[in-house]
Amino acid sequence: MSHLKQSFSVKFEYNVYFTSSLFDTGNTTLFSFFKARSSDALKKIYFVVDQGVADAHPELTANIKTFFAGQTEVQLIEEILIVPGGEASKNDTALFDQIVAAVDLHKIDRHSYIAAIGGGAVLDLVGYAAAVSHRGIKHIRIPTTVLSQNDSGIGVKNGINYKRKKNFLGTFAPPVAVFNDDEFLPTLSDRDYRSGISEAIKVALIKDAEFFCWLEDHAVQLAARDAESMNYLIRHCAKLHMDHIAGDDPFETGSARPLDFGHWAAHKLEQLSDFQVLHGEAVAMGIALDSVYSFLTGMLSEDKALRILNVLTDLRFNISDPIIHIKDAGSPILKGLAEFQEHLGGLLTITLLTDLGTGQEVHEMDHQLLIAASDYVAKFIKDKESLNTTH
């Protein structure tokens, strides 16, 4: 018996830029990026824009065209594709086909760029199309929501939903750059603005107790949409995510996914609600459930579990939706455990909390304790509402 062995590594490197008014002609951030990557090959750039962003910023497409007029480093493709925002963009494979068709029509090659402007779902869709077209076209992300600027938009995952399962099709393909423009945030609805804060709570709970304390102290300002507080949250949260990605398993070849704390229930909740519950809202509910479960197993003290529930409600999250309430072993949300394991492969691996800022992996979840945890969260909300009413 004989064999040949191959082993090699590939270095991935990209920057996340923080700026304001990216397409203002006086802003040199994009120009500098393209100039640093200049070569003899003709480079094109094709834009895909979230419909919600286009509606909120009607001048955006004109600004893009003005910005690239006379630019010699890269050639703008005049057609700018507008796609539905939110989870609808990941549920419709026709949108994926449309982007691939544009790659063919406009002769977009591996030296060129596909840029996505929008929330995390649109970035996921466009990133997936870019990654599989010609085995990889350079992808630029311009996130426009709190959630995508602090979490999904700065990572290495892309994907679409398929067979009614979250991210069933996808790739690990880092972008060539991410541009966080804070001028997109003021036009978000309160619901979308708040939704993205849950991912900051999540990463703080598993990575950074000091950051969790900061979130507690600034919950009122964040809920009131204080720009300075939000800019700090986004930058610090992005750094924590990028530090994690640079660790031992950036492409998640193992079964562990600590950044998915609270997500096994969140993903199923999104699907059961037909995606009427936003991802960040579902994550907030999943965090509440798994934090209380951590307490009931004896891993986490009750006072710390209550601090987590209080910061979630201080940020005006609904953490006890009827869809996520676990009444018995047949409750639909529990199917999320099996689907989470299927998506990960290998052992069921769930991150729970042993302290604020410290996670620990477990490989089984007790259904009776989950029922108790769900009831605990529901009672917490009922008691808090009753207290607020009496005052």
Do 167 and 47 share a structural domain? yes
Do 254 and 154 share a structural domain? no
- Contact between 151 and 120 under an 8 Å Cβ cutoff? The reply is yes
- Using DSSP's 3-state secondary structure scheme, residue 208 falls into coil
Handedness of CA 239, 242, 243, 244 (dihedral sign): positive
For the chain, how many structural domains are there in total?
2
Which pLDDT value is given to residue 70?
A: 75
Do 255 and 111 share a structural domain? no
Span 212-242, pLDDT tens digits: 999 999 999 999 999 999 999 999 999 998 8
Span 37-59, pLDDT tens digits: 877 677 899 999 999 999 999 99
Span 90-143, pLDDT tens digits: 988 899 999 999 999 999 999 899 999 999 999 999 999 999 999 999 999 999
Give the domain-ending residue among 136, 160, 187.
187
Which pLDDT value is given to residue 247?
A: 67
User: Among the residues of 39-140, which ranges form H helices?
Assistant: 51-56, 60-68, 88-91, 93-105, 120-132
Span 276-328, pLDDT tens digits: 999 899 999 999 999 999 999 999 999 999 999 999 999 999 998 888 899 99
The answer as to whether 5 is a domain residue is no
Which pLDDT value is given to residue 142?
A: 97
Do 354 and 246 share a structural domain? yes
Its domain, for residue 197, covers 190-390
Do 237 and 383 share a structural domain? yes
Do 136 and 25 share a structural domain? yes
Give the domain-ending residue among 155, 187, 219.
187
Do 365 and 224 share a structural domain? yes
Which pLDDT value is given to residue 242?
A: 86
Do 194 and 254 share a structural domain? yes
Q: Which one-letter DSSP state was computed for residue 54?
A: H
Backbone angles phi, psi at 223, to 5 degrees: -65, -30
Which pLDDT value is given to residue 360?
A: 92
The answer as to whether 3 is a domain residue is no
CA dist 283 and 21 (Å) reads 30
375 by Cβ neighbours in 10 Å (0-12 / 13-18 / 19+) ranks as: middle
- Contact between 319 and 303 under an 8 Å Cβ cutoff? The reply is no
The answer as to whether 384 is a domain residue is yes
Do 383 and 320 share a structural domain? yes
Q: Read off the CATH number of the domain in which 282 is found.
A: 1.20.1090.10
Q: What is the mean pLDDT of the chain?
A: 90
Q: The whole model's pTM is what? A: 0.86
Q: Which one-letter DSSP state was computed for residue 77?
A: P
The answer as to whether 33 is a domain residue is yes
Give the domain-ending residue among 187, 211, 246.
187
- Chain Cα centroid distance, residue 303: 29
The answer as to whether 255 is a domain residue is yes
The answer as to whether 2 is a domain residue is no
Do 290 and 166 share a structural domain? no
Do 341 and 227 share a structural domain? yes
Q: Read off the CATH number of the domain in which 22 is found.
A: 3.40.50.1970
Q: Which two tokens stand for residue 297?
A: 């197993």
Do 355 and 276 share a structural domain? yes
Which pLDDT value is given to residue 255?
A: 42
